[in-house]
C-alpha cells in the first residue's frame, strides 16, 4: 500500500513538471516576442525621427531667436581719442548688445574680448564731425552692429547680436 501511494505521487509529479515546462516556455516566447516588437518599433522609423529632429531643432532655433530680449553690457566703456581740427577729443561710449534668448546671452559673454576688439576698431576709425550729429551716431551704431555681426559669424556660425545700443555717449 505504501508502494501504491508512492507510485501515485510519482505519477502526479510528472504531469505537473510538464505543465510548468510548457508554461515557462510560453512565457519565454511571449517575452521574446515583446522584446522583438519593441526593438523593431524603436529602430525602424529612425530615419523619419532624424528628419523630424532636424526640423524640430531648426524650428527651435527660430523660436530662440524670436524669444525674450536680453541685454549684455560691455564690462568697460570704450574710451578713445579722436583728432578734431588740430586738437584731440576724448570720447567715451558705453555699449550694450541686444540678443534673443539665454543661449545667445551666454554666447555673447563668452566672446566679449572679440566683441570689444570689433567695437574699438569701429569707434576709433569714426569721424568726430559725424559723431556730433544724431544721424552720425545712428550711422556709427549701424556700422558697429555690422562689424560685430561679421566678427562673430565665423566663430558662432550664426547672427547672434540683434542691436548695438549706446547707453552712454560723452565727447570732450
Fold designation for 68-171: Tetrahydropterin Synthase; Chain A (3.30.479)
Q: Lowest mean pLDDT: which of 12-26, 54-68, 126-140, 152-166?
A: 54-68
Residues in CB range of 117: below 8 A, 6 or more apart: 151
Q: At what angle do helices 46-65 and 102-110 cross, to 10 degrees?
A: 70
Q: How confident is the model at residue 165 (pLDDT cuts 50, 70, 90)?
A: very high
The mean per-residue pLDDT over the stretch 16-41 comes to 83
Location of C-alpha cell 574680448: 113
C-alpha span between 65 and 102 (Å, rounded): 10
Q: How do the residues of the chain divide into helix, strand and coil, expressed in percent and rounded to 5?
A: 65, 20, 15
Amino acid at each position: 500500500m505504501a508502494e501504491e501511494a508512492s507510485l501515485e505521487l510519482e505519477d502526479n509529479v510528472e504531469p505537473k513538471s510538464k505543465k510548468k515546462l510548457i508554461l515557462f516556455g510560453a512565457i519565454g516566447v511571449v517575452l521574446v516576442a515583446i522584446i522583438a516588437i519593441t526593438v523593431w518599433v524603436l529602430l525602424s522609423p529612425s530615419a523619419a525621427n532624424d528628419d523630424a529632429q532636424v526640423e524640430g531643432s531648426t524650428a527651435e532655433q527660430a523660436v530662440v531667436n524670436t524669444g525674450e530680449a536680453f541685454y549684455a553690457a560691455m564690462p568697460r566703456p570704450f574710451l578713445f581719442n579722436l583728432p578734431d581740427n588740430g586738437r584731440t577729443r576724448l570720447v567715451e561710449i558705453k555699449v550694450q548688445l541686444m540678443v534673443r534668448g539665454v543661449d545667445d546671452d551666454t554666447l555673447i559673454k563668452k566672446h566679449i574680448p572679440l566683441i570689444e576688439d570689433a567695437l574699438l576698431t569701429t569707434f576709433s576709425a569714426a569721424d568726430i564731425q559725424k559723431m556730433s550729429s544724431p544721424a552720425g551716431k545712428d550711422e556709427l551704431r549701424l556700422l558697429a552692429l555690422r562689424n560685430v555681426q561679421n566678427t562673430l559669424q565665423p566663430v558662432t556660425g550664426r547672427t547672434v547680436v540683434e542691436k548695438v545700443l549706446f547707453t552712454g555717449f560723452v565727447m570732450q
